[in-house]
Amino acid sequence: MTVKTILTEPNKILRQVSLPVEKVGNEERQLMDDMLETMYDAKGIGLAAIQIGVPKRIIVMDIGNREKEKEPMYFVNPIIKNKNSEHSTYEEGCLSVPNQFAEVNRPSTCEIEFLDYNGNKKILNASGLLATCIQHEMDHLEGILFIDYLSKLKKMMIVKKLSKQKNKIDRIIV
């Protein structure tokens, strides 16, 4: 297992639409292992493959208590079967939008069909943080970031801040 570099906004790769996985094989499992290690290392609760530059429809998550045992979840080719017309608001963050947080409104519950780590078809009824997180991750598969839901001004301020931070880092390296 390897910790990979997480791409950050404004990197165009994050805007790619990810492609369905044909078969959950060893290559995909290796990718999921690396994604999970990268996610734990960055102290996140979810990660989509595109965040480490791989345009495949694969997500890993662990919304369990960090002090307790790990509870990894794997989603390959997830599809939303149903979503609640009732919405709820969560303060969201994203490993690809470091240190920025904002409230986002999403369906409060949803039903997801997906393939698990072993390629078996599963159905999950998600609510609460689980529902929010899976929808946030599935947005990544479409090249969508949570800042896309904010007002133009709020989004601009965040992107500008991140661009400045990136320039600083680049200057240090050069």
Q: How many helices (H) and strands (E) does the chain have?
A: 3, 7
Q: Which does 78 bind (CB under 5 to 8 A by kind): ligand GNR, Ni ion, none?
A: none
Q: Which does 38 bind (CB under 5 to 8 A by kind): ligand GNR, Ni ion, none?
A: none
Tell me the closest approach of the beta carbon of residue 174 to ligand GNR, in angstroms.
Answer: 28
| Separation between Cα atoms, residue 142 and residue 16, nearest integer Å | 7
| Closer residue to ligand GNR (CB): 25 or 128 | 128
**Catalytic status, residue 137:** yes
Residue nearest to Ni ion (CB): 94
The sign one gets for the Cα dihedral 143, 131, 83, 93 is negative
**Structure token digits, residue 69:** 């045992």
Dihedral sign for Cα atoms in the order 108, 50, 100, 33:
positive
Determine, following the binding rule CB under 5 A, whether residue 52 of this chain makes contact with Ni ion.
no
Chain positions 77 to 96 lying near Ni ion, rule: CB under 5 A, are 94
Residue ranges in contact with ligand GNR by CB under 6 A: 44-48, 51, 90, 92-96, 132-133, 136-137, 140
Q: Which of 37, 113, 137, 142 is catalytic?
A: 137
Would you give the end-to-end CA distance of the chain in angstroms?
30
Backbone phi, psi, residue 114, to 5°: -160, 175
Tell me the catalytic residues: 137
Binding site for Ni ion (CB under 5 A): 94
